[in-house]
Copies of this chain bind each other. A is one copy, B any other.
Amino acid sequence: MRMAELSAESGVPIPTIKYYLREGMLPPGERTSPNQARYQPSHVRRLKLVRALLDVGGLSIAQVREVLAGIDSPSDIHHVLGITQRGLTLTRGQSDERTRDWAASKLERVAEERGWKLKPGNPVVEAAISALGTFASLGRTEVVDRLDRYAELADRMAELDLASVRDLPDRETVVEGAVVGTVLGDALFAALRRLAQEHASAQTFPRES
């Protein structure tokens, strides 16, 4: 299909498609003349993925590029899942060294219980320690005290997440499914968690009027 059809099919305006092409987020089409190129259904799929990562996932252009590089790399599936999931940088707070060590030991204990491997230098581990340390420095240790129960829910959710991608037909679809699941899954679950919190809060704190 031509650029105009690609735009109609994907719902992405032509200038935006050109921008994605320049930024390397969309592979070039097959050139048919100096001014024209032909695009495939795979381009439509990639465009939808890029929009989902940007709009719903809230990723930056740089993060989207990193995630796409992971999807397109030829490594084995488990390795690519590691790269793409770590590529989704998590924001970090600062806490003093003592708080950090304390948070790290809390996480290590729970990881041991659950059989998780905490590889040194894994940014996800650092993100978890940082969030725990920030809770503690704000005096919110109630959350840290319940870490084992949050971790148990994380395990149950990861099982659901993996069950969703396990049966996909080929490697590219599995990797794409896992990335989409991680990025959109965080957005979806954050919304579900708030709906459940509103429900629980209405029961815990009835209106004072």
Interface residues of A, Cβ cutoff 8 Å to B: 11, 45, 48-49, 51-52, 55-58, 76-79, 81-82, 85-86, 88, 90-94, 111, 114-118, 124-125, 127-128, 130-132, 134-135, 137-138, 140, 142-143, 146, 149-151, 153-168, 174, 177-178, 180-182, 184-202, 204-209
Contacts and interface: CB of A to CB of B under 8 A. Distances in A.
A81 B197 contact: yes
Given A79-B207, A197-B85, A207-B78, A146 B160 contact: yes
Contacts of A79: 207
A162 B200 contact: yes
Contacts of A134: 52, 55-56, 184
Contacts of A130: 56
A161 B193 CA distance: 9
B143 A164 contact: yes
Contacts of A57: 91
Number of chain copies forming the complex: 2
Given A81-B197, A164-B143, A207-B76, A92 B56 contact: yes
A155 to B, nearest CB: 5
B56 A161 contact: no
Given A91-B57, A188-B128, A198 B146 contact: no
A85 B150 contact: no
A75 B70 CA distance: 48
Nearest to A127: B191
